[in-house]
Structures are given as C-alpha cells and as structure tokens.
Structure 1
Amino acid sequence: MGFYHSTEALAPRHKTEFWRESVCRRLIPARGEFAHDFDGCLSGQQLGSLTVCRMQSKPHTFIRTDQLARVAPDDDIVAAFFQRGQANMAQQGRTLRASAGDIVLYDAARPFVHELAPESLLLVRFPRQQLLSRFPKAEHMMALKIADGSSLAGLLHGMAEEALRFEARDSALAAQARFAAAFLDTLSAAMELQDVAEGAAAATRHGSIYEKAVRYIDAHLDDTGLSMAGVAEAAHVSPRTLTRVFAAHGTTVMHHLWKRRLEQSFHILSEGRVQQVTQAAYQCGFSDLSHFSRAFKSAYGTTPATLLRGAGGTMVALNQTR
C-alpha cells in the first residue's frame, strides 16, 4: 500500500510539524530545522522489506542526536539516491557533499546531521541485518559515496526508481521479496567491489609512503635527532598515517630506524671501514655508546669491539696476500 504526505494544503504554522512527524514515521526519528517558507512532499510504498519513497522539498535539516538514538532506537539503514538537489551529510566522523547521481547510506543506530535541499531524492530504508548478512563490512561505509563513478551507480538508481513504481497490487508477495533481495544483492555487490578497489588503492599508496619513508631513514641514519615526526614530514603524511603504514609491515617507525642503524653499524665494523667503535656508532646515529654496545651484542651475539678487531685481522691478512 502506498503513502503520500504533502504540506501543500496546510497552513504555514502546521507545515513543519506535519513534515517532521510524517518523515520520521516513515524514515528515522530526528530533530528538524526548517526555513520559514518550508514546503515538502513525501510519497512511496512498502515493497517487501524495503520502504521506498521520493522526497521533494525546500531546504531543511534533520539532526539525530545521541539522546534520540537512545530514546527512539532504530536499527535500519537508509540509502539516499540523489536525483536533483544536494545535501551536506555527516555521520561517523565523516562529512560529504552529495549531489545528483550520488548514492549515500546512513545508519539509524548512530547520530547524524543532514542538511537537505532535495529537489528530488529517492530514499530506500531496509533492515540492517539484511545488508550485513550480504556484506558484513557495510556498517563501516556509512556517509560515503557508494559506487561513485561506477556503472553500478546507474543500475542502482534505476532499481530504486523501479522499486518506487513497482505495482504492488498486481504482484505476489513473493515477487516483492525477490525484487527487494535483488536490490540488496546489487547494493552489497557494489559496496564490496568498492571496498576491494579502495583497499587496493590504499595498499598502493601505503606502499609508496613506506618506500619514501624507508629511503629517507636510510639517508639520515647519522641524524641523532631523527624522529617519527620528522620522517612523517618528509613523507608528506601525518604521524598517524605513517604509524598505520609501518604497522601494515609488522613494525614501527622507530623500531625500523633502530634496526637499520644496527645493520649499518654491523656492515661498517665488519668491513673495517672505521678504526674505532665510536666512529661507527656516531655515523649510524647512536649517541649513547653503552646502549649501542648492549643492543649490538643482543642483536649479533658479539660486541662491536670484538667484531672490529676481527675485521682488522682480516684486513691485515688480505693485504699480506696481495
């Protein structure tokens, strides 16, 4: 059965309250803020597990607070299909500006702020578990543009429009359920493909950051003041991002720096390129000689001095054979 809510025939003083109650009842309970000349129309129908509707209205804002989420809990997810108009949407610490052609999901279980100017906006509401059972990572993709730039975006827009026009009176309940399942299958497939693509892009970007950071560290091993902040600045990323990049390689920035300093000092000493241990230590950025000696022995099972003496004897023997 379809529904239709419009403020057109109402007195100005009743419009916003009617709209707030109508939209919240069909979608998600939220506090509304409206312009003085507000008007709007919401029409749609129930199709299997989907609530499908079209919103056409003047600008307004819906705010779902923590308190509202506790007082009026709701576990559904809403997919917004922008046809005309735009919106500023914020949830889960993300903000985005949506416009024609965009698809954005938002979660009723969490607070949000939506500044809407929806000349024509399709909304599809469905139970959370029906999406999570298909794509468990879906709840981490709220307030993101779904299938952005993909051909699947056009397909999903077409399915949402078809759901709105679906002649429920001429179809069996089983047909409605199959259509709803097909819509959710397509939406979850688009999200999964996007997640894979973004993961690959992030891996490529992280690989580039890692290589740049490692090269910078190797070129500045003698800098006793080298820090994670300095490496992050050189790699043009935040320390937090750099931490995540190195964590993906099973290490930390400072642990990698310490390891490379020990490796370089081992090469210098074993090849007899210095006459004193202190020279190797300083060339590799160690300022505390006793700490350096303990760490070196722990890593290689011998002291720097012993390694250097052995290298000296080897060099003498090599020179005598020439």
Structure 2
Amino acid sequence: MDFSSSHLPWRLDVGRHEALRHKTRTLGEFWAVGCTLGGISGRRGATELRRTEGEYLGVLLVRKGSEIFTQNDKTALVGEGCAVIWDGVKSAECHSAGSLEKFTFFLPRELAREALPGFESLIGRPLESSPSLRLLFSWMETSMGAADMDDTAASTAGRVAVDLLTSAIGSSSNMVLDARSIRLMEVRDFIDAHLRDAALGVVEIAQANAVSVRYLHLLFKESGETCGQYLLRRRLEVAQRLLTVQPGLSVTEIGLRCGFSNPSSFSRAYRVSFGISPRAARRS
C-alpha cells in the first residue's frame, strides 16, 4: 500500500483505515512523512528488507499518542514529543494501540554517517524531549505545511532538519557520547541481546564484557539504576510487548523467552513492576 511504501516497505495491520491520513514531502536528499492513524502494528522483516531500494535511517517523531518501536532487541516506548532513530537495513517492529500522529524523517545512511558519527549506538534509543527536539518538531510541521516550497528551499529544509536532529541528540541526557557512555551502551547492547539467558547476571555480564564487577557498577551509577535493575527492567519491557503483540505465545513461554527461570518468578517480578499479573495484563 502507498502508506507502507512511503515509509520504506512494511507489512502493516492498520487498526482503523478510515482514520488513516498521510502526506509525503521531499526535502532535497531527504524526505519526511506526516501521518495520522487509528492504531497500527507493523514489521520489517527479510521480505520487506529485500524490497527496499537504498539504505536509510528513519527518525520517528511522535506528535500525539505513543508508539512501541523495537529494533536491535531494544524496545522504546516513544511518547508525545519524543523520538527514536531506526535503521532501514535491519528488521524492526512497531505497535500503537490507539490514535497516533507522527512524523518520520528519512535520511540516507551515508549522509547520516557524516552528520551522526557512530549512529549505530543510537539505534532504538529514545530521544527525550528537549528544546532542540521541539524545534525539530516545529520545523517538520513548517516543512510539511509549506505549499509553495521550491527545490532549493526543500533542500535547505532537509539540511536544517538534520542540524536540529544532531543538536537534539547532543542535548538529550541519555545521548552524551563520552567514552564511558559509549562503553555503557555497548554493555546494554550485550544485555539486550542475551535477555533470554536465565543464567545471565551481573557477574556474567562483567566477564563477557571484560570488565570488573566494580567497574560495571560505576558504568551504571550515573544512569540512575544498577546493572541488575537494568537487566530486570529490560526483561519486563520485552515481556510486556510480547504480551501485547504475540497472543499466540503462552504467558509461561513469554517468561522463559525473557530470561525468567520459572512462571512464578516472572509473575512476581511483573506484578511488582506493573501492579498486575502478566495474565491480567494480557486480558486487559
């Protein structure tokens, strides 16, 4: 469908087709899509990747509502006024249960590499609201709404959007790319890739990443949570997503996939974190 191809090829299940509206605007070497939906679930798998011409990054900017976006085993809940960067050469999933308004800004990977060195470490990590990100939202609205933009103006608009994105990344509190922050991202990536390993703990994480347990604690100290807390939170976030988008999986199987050794430990941790049991969450 046109909506799918405007965002690169996706396999989509649109909740309410009558609520679907979208508009595409070319911005020089870049392009942007603004859309309104009444709920959606989507996936970019091997088939969609083969159908994609060129290599691009996408920047999802949520105006109203929220969207769950998963890539690289990272699941980001992107709320109103926030954003997430995703990679067009890798599989991805998205889900929104309710009404959603968003922009998606696309830029070629080779240009992204020049503007955002080391962008691979940013994939799947939410960008928090900031003055620069709010300016990017406003700039997207202006660029999408301009009726008489010629090619030169459109190209300028695209370059300004990239500059605002770069600024938003630099001002986001979880995107400070000093050496320790980059090391922390690498450790988090390792954890996200091994969540289903029930034997994974702080000691195993430290050993696999060739650091001491003490240094691992230092890496996580400024993030506001311990390594163990991050591991548990990510397991529960993935479990919460699977309960929503994988009705064919039993609650027990979801717990095992997320690294919980038995159903009771999964249910107990889920209830402590979310206030209800996994079975009740699925029913609701």
TM-score, normalisation: structure 1 = 0.54
1:35 to 1:249, Cα distance in 2 relative to 1, 3 A = closer
The one of the two structures with greater contact order (alpha-carbon pairs below 8 A, sep at least 6) is 2
Q: Residue in 2 aligned with 1:84? A: 64
Q: Residue in 1 aligned with 2:209? A: 244
Whole-Å Cα distance in 2 between the matches of residues 27 and 200 of structure 1?
Answer: 34
Q: Does 1:197 align with 2:176?
A: yes
Residue 182 of structure 1 deviates from its aligned partner by: 1.6
Alignment of structure 1 residues 15-164 onto 2, 5 Å: 21-35=1-15, 39-116=19-96, 117-146=98-127, 148-164=128-144
Alignment of structure 1 residues 177-196 onto 2, 5 Å: 177-192=155-170, 194=172
CA contact (8 A) 1:134 1:188 kept: yes
Whole-Å Cα distance in 2 between the matches of residues 88 and 102 of structure 1?
Answer: 12
CA contact (8 A) 1:130 1:184 kept: no
Whole-Å Cα distance in 2 between the matches of residues 37 and 196 of structure 1?
Answer: 36
Residue 151 of structure 1 deviates from its aligned partner by: 2.2
Alignment of structure 1 residues 210-289 onto 2, 5 Å: 237-241=202-206, 243-244=208-209, 246=211
Whole-Å Cα distance in 1 between the matches of residues 182 and 51 of structure 2?
Answer: 41
Per-residue CA deviation, residues 39-90 of structure 1 (Å, 9 max, x unaligned), is: 3111232222232222111111111112321343541122111111111110
> Equivalent residue of 1:101, what SS?
coil
Per-residue CA deviation, residues 127-160 of structure 1 (Å, 9 max, x unaligned), is: 22222111221133122112x1432221221122
CA RMSD of aligned residues (A): 3.2
Whole-Å Cα distance in 2 between the matches of residues 189 and 113 of structure 1?
Answer: 27
CA contact (8 A) 2:32 2:103 kept: yes
2:3 is aligned with what amino acid?
V
> Equivalent residue of 2:81, what SS?
coil
2:156 is aligned with what amino acid?
R
1:120 is aligned with what amino acid?
E
Q: Please say which of residues 91-100 and 44-53 is displaced more in the overlay.
A: 44-53
Residue 28 of structure 1 deviates from its aligned partner by: 1.2
1:172 to 1:90, Cα distance in 2 relative to 1, 3 A = same
Whole-Å Cα distance in 2 between the matches of residues 241 and 65 of structure 1?
Answer: 32
Residue correspondences, number? 199
Per-residue CA deviation, residues 245-304 of structure 1 (Å, 9 max, x unaligned), is: 627999xxxxxxxxxxxxxxxxxxxxxxxxxxxxxxxxxxxxxxxxxxxxxxxxxxxxxx
1:196 to 1:247, Cα distance in 2 relative to 1, 3 A = farther
